[in-house]
Amino acid sequence: MKNMTISDIAAKAGVSKATVSRVLNSPEMVEGSTREKIESIMKEYNYTPSATARNLSKQVSSTVGVIVPEISNSFFGTLFSGIEEITNKNGLSLLYCSNEDNEKKDLMALELMKTQRVRGVFYVPAVNYPAMGKKKKIQKELESLGCPVICIDRDIALPFDTIHFDDRKAMKNAVISLAEAGHRRIAVINGNSESSVLASERYDGYLEGLKAVGIEMDEAFVYQGVYKQSYAYLAAKELFQKKEQPTAVITCNNNLGRGYLQAAAECGTADLYTHVSLDKIEMLDLLKIPHNYIERDSYELGKKAAELLISRIAFPEKRIQNILMEAPLIRETY
Amino acid sequence: MKNMTISDIAAKAGVSKATVSRVLNSPEMVEGSTREKIESIMKEYNYTPSATARNLSKQVSSTVGVIVPEISNSFFGTLFSGIEEITNKNGLSLLYCSNEDNEKKDLMALELMKTQRVRGVFYVPAVNYPAMGKKKKIQKELESLGCPVICIDRDIALPFDTIHFDDRKAMKNAVISLAEAGHRRIAVINGNSESSVLASERYDGYLEGLKAVGIEMDEAFVYQGVYKQSYAYLAAKELFQKKEQPTAVITCNNNLGRGYLQAAAECGTADLYTHVSLDKIEMLDLLKIPHNYIERDSYELGKKAAELLISRIAFPEKRIQNILMEAPLIRETY
DNA sequence: CTGAAAGCGCTTACAG
DNA sequence: CTGAAAGCGCTTACAG
């Protein structure tokens, strides 16, 4: 079924396109009886104006873009839902594109957003551009979007609004809390702190925590690889073999937490280390398996990010905001 | 930074807009040296054509819509990823909208897709329109979209391409398999089979299974409520109280499976019934907890659905396809 | 309160 | 191989 146009409606109503457009945009400007007539015709023919034409004419889009690593990871799925709640209320639609933590895909995603002329974009940077000496480059890309950008979850120190969890502080707290409970040998399984902003923040927090409680860092207890379950699994297996064992371990994202648990489950869950995972691991509560974790409410993160974008659209000249969200430590087993 | 237009580029290159447009659309038509000149100018100014203008002019959009209940449910998150893999390859972008299993939201989502004039839509119907006597209505809405629609996961018997799992058969198989293992009292915890297509398919499969093995249906063992964890939790608690107990239970989606496990965990996992869940429940394998489930690969579902859309766009007149995917039973505990 | 007209940024048939 | 012009479906300043 072909879509009706504003001209079709105008013809049927015996008025000009301008008048039809007015009942769409400022109905109070058109006289009651003609308005009603036009409205009834629009209804009868199930007319819906084309956003494409409208956007072009108005020179603004009603859609905003979201670029995240992968929507099937529940952290980002939930983040996305939080964003949607707010953008929906503001009549904005969502264009999605994943970057798979991959620089090339990331650039393609930005290109997509640019070609779509979105009103704003929520952006989780794929890689640590500044650390790669590409800060200027990515900054230029983002600026050339010509719309507000909200950097989420990973702060790559660009002049854009930013919102993320205070992972550094959370990690530091976790170490201190473990130390206070008597732990002195605290291992960590993390992503690559050279290439990932997140990983370096988390590692720094770990070091700060050790320092705060006067524990010397032991390289044998530090694993920094990739944020994958399989990596943590191997790291944990290796830890289990050491003659000198840690008494506690912190895993730095949900995949790593799962990998560690997998390894632990294989070895019989009997004498596990005390485990703190950054991000809650699903199902454990439900199975009544006690679990310590740093809680990051990604739905809330999404909502706040969306509010940030709305307010940035409203006040383009407002100074840049950098929002840091608390990530509390939930202790259940020590 | 304001976006460049095709006229800006044309002016800088000293050619007409038409020529610039040609290097974008059919570069072989423009003479080598002018093409290179134009290309270098486009590059220098980081020019990207506006999809909005292009879509309006070409009268086709390069984005397709996705309507699912909620992206934070991993079944749909993974489905979405599968869709993206294929649409990406075909240069289509994705517009997302959730319907939250809610009729009103569903209609709004369709309206959004219509106003956006998308090239096609992937649609998981929010409710069982035919059962509500609204088959004609929803059909009209979908047709008025003016683009191909792929109905996913829930078959509401409309004249559109359709792809979903053969839940009925899977349920039947599960019952038969349990019966062969000696179970005669097989409970089921399901969604509402009056309002949900899925639930009614699943319930029918359950009944067919019972029939096939000559077991009479016992109402005391049939729970049909809502697809929520909390519902299954309560249903399970109630089952546990009965004087006559089932020996096996089938839960009909991942939320229900979790609710059942939650209740079971609270009662001590000792003398559980044999449990089969429709959809794999995450974490159990990893924790070495054996688990029987009907496996539905939603990534594959997404990919197949996307391929279906691509082929429908290519061959609009091809007859309607209804694809049924197998959902195998994975047995680990009996 | 309403209409004619120009414009948004592209594409493409037509003419040269 | 290239340009002028019309058109895609809207919006809105301008004039009446």
Res A217 pLDDT > 90: yes
- Cα–Cα distance for residue pair B22/A164, rounded to 1 Å: 44
pLDDT 10s digits, B220-235: 999 999 999 999 999 9
Given this chain, do its domains B6-47 and B61-165+298-327 carry the same CATH topology? no
Q: What fold does the segment set B61-165+298-327 form as a domain?
A: Rossmann fold (3.40.50)
**A318: its two tokens:** 């407002």
CB contact at 8 A, B20 and B9: yes
Asked whether the beta carbons of residue A49 and residue B115 sit closer than 8 angstroms, the reply is yes
- What's the CA angle centered on A270, arms A264 and A276, to 5 degrees? 55
Backbone phi, psi, residue B90, to 5°? -100, 15
Q: Which residue is nearest to nucleotide D12 (CA to C1')?
A: A18
**Domain chopping of chain B, boundaries:** 6-47, 61-165+298-327, 167-294
Q: Report the SS3 class of residue B278.
A: strand
Q: Is strand D in 7 Å reach of the CB of B20?
A: no
* Adjacent-strand bridge partners of A249: A187, A275
- Cα–Cα distance for residue pair B165/B163, rounded to 1 Å: 7
Chain A hits for B94, Cβ within 8 Å: 95-97
> Which residue type is seen at A46?
N
> What's the pLDDT score for residue B238?
94
> What's the pLDDT score for residue B195?
81
pTM of the model: 0.93
Asked whether the beta carbons of residue B286 and residue A55 sit closer than 8 angstroms, the reply is no
Q: Of the ranges A148-162, A262-276, B99-113, B175-189, which one carries the lowest mean pLDDT score? A: A262-276
Q: How far is CA B309 from CA A107, B81, B114, in A?
A: 26, 15, 17
- For domain A167-294, the CATH architecture is 3-Layer(aba) Sandwich (3.40)
At residue A269 the predicted structure's pLDDT band, cuts being 50, 70 and 90, is: low
Res A266 pLDDT > 70: yes
Name the helix (H) or strand (E) containing B69. none
Give which of B193, B185, B238 is closest to B213, Cα–Cα.
Answer: B185
Asked whether the beta carbons of residue B72 and residue A77 sit closer than 8 angstroms, the reply is yes
CB contact at 8 A, A86 and A150: no
- Cα–Cα distance for residue pair A37/A45, rounded to 1 Å: 12
What would the DSSP string read from start to end of A274-324?
A: EEEEESPPTTTTTTT---EEE---HHHHHHHHHHHHHHHHH-TTSPP-EEE
CB contact at 8 A, A156 and A191: no
Name the helix (H) or strand (E) containing A153. none
* Mean of pLDDT over chain A: 94
Backbone phi, psi, residue B250, to 5°? -115, 130
Res A1 pLDDT > 70: no
Task: For residue B51, give how far its alpha carbon lies from the nearest alpha carbon of chain A (Å).
Answer: 5
Asked whether the beta carbons of residue B97 and residue A96 sit closer than 8 angstroms, the reply is no
At residue A258 the predicted structure's pLDDT band, cuts being 50, 70 and 90, is: very high
pLDDT 10s digits, A71-82: 998 899 999 999
Provide, in whole angstroms, the distance separating residue A17's CA from nucleotide D15's C1'.
Answer: 17
Q: How far is CA A229 from CA A29, A261, A297, B81, B147, in A?
A: 61, 9, 21, 19, 41
Res A270 pLDDT > 70: no
Cβ-based neighbours of B18, under 8 Å, separated by 6 or more: none
Res A68 pLDDT > 60: yes
- Cα–Cα distance for residue pair B190/B219, rounded to 1 Å: 13
**Best of A54, A111, A115 to mutate (most B CBs within 10 Å, chain B):** A115
Residues in chain B: 334
> What's the pLDDT score for residue B24?
95
Chain mean position to CA B172: 22
**Best of B6, B283, B284 to mutate (most A CBs within 10 Å, chain A):** B283
Helix, strand and coil in chain A, % to nearest 5: 50, 15, 35
Low-confidence ranges of chain B (pLDDT < 70): 1, 269-271
* Helix pair angle (B17-25, B32-44), 10° resolution: 90
Of the options 1.10.260, 3.30.750, 3.20.20, 3.30.70, the CATH number for the domain spanning A6-47:
1.10.260
> What's the pLDDT score for residue A333?
87
Chain B hits for A98, Cβ within 8 Å: 81, 84
pLDDT 10s digits, B135-189: 999 999 999 999 999 999 988 888 999 999 999 999 999 999 999 999 999 999 9
Give which of A83, A134, A126, A132 is closest to A105, Cα–Cα.
Answer: A126
Res A46 pLDDT > 90: yes
> What's the pLDDT score for residue A334?
84
Residues in chain A: 334
Q: How far is CA B210 from CA B139, B206, B215, B277, in A?
A: 35, 6, 5, 17
Average pLDDT over residues A118-139: 93
